[in-house]
A and B are shown apart, each in its own frame.
Chain A
Amino acid sequence: KAGVTQTPRYLIKTRGQQVTLSCSPISGHRSVSWYQQTPGQGLQFLFEYFSETQRNKGNFPGRFSGRQFSNSRSEMNVSTLELGDSALYLCASSLDPSPRETQYFGPGTRLLVL
């Protein structure tokens, strides 16, 4: 079974631009969570989607948004990029949002904001 895939793997943007990242979960997984990893803050939860609905959200500004499609694929969008948004963005999928369902991570998208 294929793992979680994320596209693109690397991205360079400039301040003020917007970016969209994509995540395809493991087949059969219906819950998708997004995380941001930076050297200073570690891995931080962005949001979680299940059945096309955002069910949980972390402490990030409204510039960070996402959505989930009927096939469980998910996208996240960051508008008005800031230098501090440079990070590794990780997507994780699980069968459902139950806290006891293991989340499996994709390879991440490395975003550099110049």
Chain B
Amino acid sequence: DQQVKQNSPSLSVQEGRISILNCDYTNSMFDYFLWYKKYPAEGPTFLISISSIKDKNEDGRFTVFLNKSAKHLSLHIVPSQPGDSAVYFCAASSSGNTGKLIFGQGTTLQVKP
């Protein structure tokens, strides 16, 4: 039972354009969401997070949107840069489950120069 789903295994965009990565979840108890970026042979690097009491959080080129009614979140990267090419994971946690993140399967983003 996959509680966090990233339905697009890969995404390719042109440098300078917007990248939109999507994530759906099924567990209504999730109340905190995070995005991580991962390069091969490295651990995930934290990018941005959002609490369920918000619907948007912005940090530089990265913006995360949360639609609780649809149980959907998205990560927007504007403008996309070749260095953004990596695997992006969305993750979720709930107040009743300490220290435990539930991860999606990841989306591989390729930004073409």
Contact = CB atoms under 8 A, between A and B. Distances in A.
Interface of A: 4, 6, 31, 33, 35, 42-45, 48-50, 55-56, 58, 90, 92, 94, 97-100, 102-108, 110
A31 B43 contact: no
A100 B101 contact: no
Contacts of B105: 42
A43 B97 contact: no
Contacts, number: 76
Nearest to B102: A45
Contact of B42 (A49, A97, A108): A108
Contacts of B93: 99-100
B102 A55 contact: no
Nearest to A45: B100
B60 interface: no
Contacts of B88: none
Contact of B95 (A33, A45, A92, A99): A99
